Amino acid sequence: MTILRVAAGRRSVGVVLRKRPKHPNPELEELLREVEKHGWTVTKRKQYFKTECRCPARHQTWVHLTPSNPNYTRNQRKWFERQACWKDDD
């Protein structure tokens, strides 16, 4: 009898399942993931996603669901990069 090795043990159990819905705009979804990677909290609201950092200054901004400005993603990204607690080096 052959024992079939089930790869169940290899599943990434440590992944924290955040119930954040995806941003409909792929560029902004990517930005939100980056924001989360920096340890910020992303919360879905009605017309936007609220992002908040965890430094004492509690920087926060909103990422709209349907931005009309074509430069919106870039502008938002720049805003994040301007914050003192946003560090790109590991």
Between 28 and 80, CB nearer to Zn ion: 80
Interaction of residue 53 with Zn ion, rule CB under 5 A: yes
CB of 49 to Zn ion, least distance (A): 17
Say how many CA atoms lie within 13 Å of 87 toward its Cβ. Answer: 6
In the chain, the DSSP E strands lie at 41-44, 48-52, 60-64
The neighbour count for residue 56, using CB atoms within 10 Å, is 7
CB of 83 to Zn ion, least distance (A): 5
Interaction of residue 85 with Zn ion, rule CB under 5 A: yes
Write the CB contacts of 79 (distance below 8 Å, at least 6 apart in sequence): 61
DSSP state of 24: S
Candidates 35, 40, 51, 59: give the one binding Zn ion (CB under 5 A): 59
Candidates 22, 57, 69, 78: give the one binding Zn ion (CB under 5 A): 57
List of residues contacting Zn ion (CB under 5 A): 53, 55, 57, 59, 85
